[in-house]
Amino acid sequence: MNRLAGKVALISGGARGMGESHARNIVAEGGQIVIADVLDDLGQALAEELAPNALYVHLDVTSTSDWDNAVAKAVEAFGKLNVLINNAGILIYAPMTTITDEQWDKLISINLTGSFKGIRAASAALIRFAPSSIINISSTAGLMGSAGGSAYVSSKFGVRGLTKAAAVEFGRDGVRVNSVHPGNIATPMTAGMTMPFSHVPMNREGVPNEISPLVLFLASDESSFSTGAEFIADGGESAGNATPFV
């Protein structure tokens, strides 16, 4: 129950969905968490529930000053910062022929540029309080294409590439950087979407608690020799199409 003792993590998009699950698991394993989101009421309530080992800060990941503030608050409240989880994300599916500039720019600025800004803002603290870990939440959409997913797929491939670049850049500094690639997971993001799972070898979607153990592993020193790597939990989706030939 103490796998994350001595770890202080900052998670973007931590108010609900998978981020909420990761926050709960980190505190359950003895860590401390700064929950950062644009959903202030949900994030504040979660932090109060997990107090004194949690703090909520307002963070729009597209804002450089919000990132600087979140990092400063983490160090001020808990004395250090040694885990960053770039989890905030949005999903827009639109055909490539009609997706608008605004849709494209919004998605890339949150999913990809937001993750970059998080790394840039947190890097000095992560180096200072090393050993540290950056966990970038990509997707199976960072491994494979999907129809209608041009912006989302591009952003998640970008997060995967950003991970490699940061892992190489920070390798000598005691800061490891890895990407996590969930398949379809039941969260508010996917609520209301009708998706067939017959192509998935395990023939179902996942739940947030099937991703949190990967995040715990990467946040802790158990993963001390892993950096620049991809960690997949997708029911086998990226291994191949399970729909039988007829």
Ligand X SMILES: NC(=O)c1ccc[n+]([C@@H]2O[C@H](COP(=O)([O-])OP(=O)(O)OC[C@H]3O[C@@H](n4cnc5c(N)ncnc54)[C@H](O)[C@@H]3O)[C@@H](O)[C@H]2O)c1
Binding site for ligand X (CB under 6 A): 12-13, 15-19, 37-39, 59-62, 87-90, 110, 137, 139, 182, 184-185, 187-190
To the nearest whole angstrom, how small is the minimum distance from the Cβ of residue 240 to ligand X?
A: 18
Count of CA atoms in the C-beta half-sphere (13 A) of 141: 25
- Toward ligand X, which CB reaches closer, 39 or 167? 39
- Toward ligand X, which CB reaches closer, 190 or 226? 190
To the nearest whole angstrom, how small is the minimum distance from the Cβ of residue 67 to ligand X?
A: 10
To the nearest whole angstrom, how small is the minimum distance from the Cβ of residue 119 to ligand X?
A: 15
Positions annotated as catalytic residues are 152
To the nearest whole angstrom, how small is the minimum distance from the Cβ of residue 87 to ligand X?
A: 5
Give the DSSP per-residue string, 230-246.
EEEESTTGGG---SPP-
φ, ψ for residue 148, nearest 5 deg: 85, 0
